[in-house]
Amino acid sequence: AIKASYPSWVFEYFQHLESIVRSFFLSATTSRCFINDDEVEDWIRLGITVHSRDEVGLFAYPGQSNMTGRRLPLSWSARIRESSHGRTFTLLDAAALATTSPLDLSDPAASPDFVSVSFYKIFGFPDVGALIIRKAAGHLLQRRRYFGGGTIDMVIAVGCTSHVKRDSSLHDQLEDGTLPFLSIFALDIAIDVHARLFTSMARISSHTAFLASYLYNNLQHLHHENGSSLLRIYTDDASSYGNPALQGATIAFNVYTAEGKLIPCQVIEELADNEGIYIRSGSLCNPGGIATYLGYTPEDLKRAFALGNRCSKPLSDIDGNPTGVVRVSLGAMSTRQDVDTLVSFLIAKVLPIKDQDLVWSDDPTLENLVGYDTVSLLEAVKLPSPTKHVVERVAMKSVEELSPSGKSRRLARLFKIGRFKR
């Protein structure tokens, strides 16, 4: 859509951006990846990029890394707008950030031009998302060279081809096809129930910040008998667990035996699944973060691909180096008992694993990774059960009890949007 308005446009992005947003570079004239905060700060301060009248830029970055949980400066959007990069618009990927942090968009001058959020990640259901657009930036999306049903007022299909786009509100021009109206109705209910259970995003932020700090401090002290660390935790210099302005409730790590051999992250996830502990493993759709923290060069990644490594079917390791990480995420419903359960699991089921417990075949794909001795450890200790009943109690309420009373501006309340209009 941007290319239709400005055939020449520059895409600048921070390395921790998820794959789906990073793909914007495919339609950009040129692109640039910022490796760290210092590069972004220098770029803003020095004003290296000066766009012509026929060129614009889009700077995209995550409010929170979906790998390490590190939170990036929300002030970048306003500073870029005030700098010599005035024709550079900003996109904040708030999918991870908005799950456990207030999102204040009440001041348009300080807000990003575009904000993407995932209601699925906030509520679990419904599985829809939203693009929040600053009105002053809406014109970038109004010259699309395609259209869908519901975004036009007239189409001529016989004799000649012509169409007239809607010229009313911006959302009418962008909402192609039939809207997911059942999910939108469910979203109304989800916001009400979420507020009833947790009262505010600020409270969730404080709760998860405490749990993340508690978990991080416990994980740091997990060592083998020979003194070597069980985990290698990936953090940024700017991270500060317990400070929600700098760090979200996410921790990424890899696991090693006392002899220093990697226990593949996929094996850890499978062992945890058997205990009812749900974590994620792999590259997390974050190629920049994985390459940076695991030390892979472009040549290394090309070699890994040639060896058979794929995003959806990863190798267990490459020359003993991990191809992904274990990620633990905490949310509004997480408890201190959940943290204790995870730590107990690592002590009882993972810490005893020795090099000889991992049997490798010639085929490095995970289907042929055998660890029978490791699996047998599952019977060693009975772990406390993590919490799992809160959602069931909510689901047992009647539809009438959960129905919203009136059509309030719930999205505006959730994200603190000033002068909200649909």
| Positions marked active-site | 285
Helix (H) or strand (E) holding 42: helix 37-46
Tokens representing 136 are 């002053």
**Termini Cα distance of the chain:** 21
4 Cβ contact partners less than 8 Å away, ≥ 6 residues apart: 143, 144, 145
Q: Among 250, 232, 253, which residue's Cα sits nearest to residue 241?
A: 250
What span, in angstroms and rounded, lies between the C-alpha atoms of 169 and 144? 15
Dist. CA 358–CA 109, nearest whole Å:
56
Please, which residues have CB within 8 angstroms of residue 97's CB and are 6 or more apart in sequence?
A: 62, 63, 64, 71, 103, 248
Q: Tokens 């998860």 — which residue?
A: 208
Does residue 94 contact residue 103 with C-beta atoms inside 8 Å? yes
Q: Which of 252, 232, 216 is nearest to 96 (CA)?
A: 252
Taking alpha carbons only, the member of 212, 125, 137, 205 closest to residue 174 is: 137
CA distance 274 to 206: 30
Q: Are 177 and 149 in contact (CB under 8 A)?
A: yes
Residue with tokens 């949310």: 331
3-state class (DSSP) for residue 13: strand
- Alpha carbon 86 to its chain's center: 27
- How much of the chain is helix, strand and coil, in % rounded to 5? 40, 20, 40
**Can you tell me the distance from the alpha carbon of 6 to that of 202, in angstroms, rounded to the nearest whole number?**
39
- 263 touches 353 (CB < 8 A): yes
**What is the C-alpha to C-alpha distance for residues 100 and 198, in angstroms, rounded to an integer?**
11
C-alpha dist (Å) from residue 85 to 36, 49, 78, 107, 297: 19, 6, 11, 20, 30
Q: How many residues are recorded in the chain?
A: 422
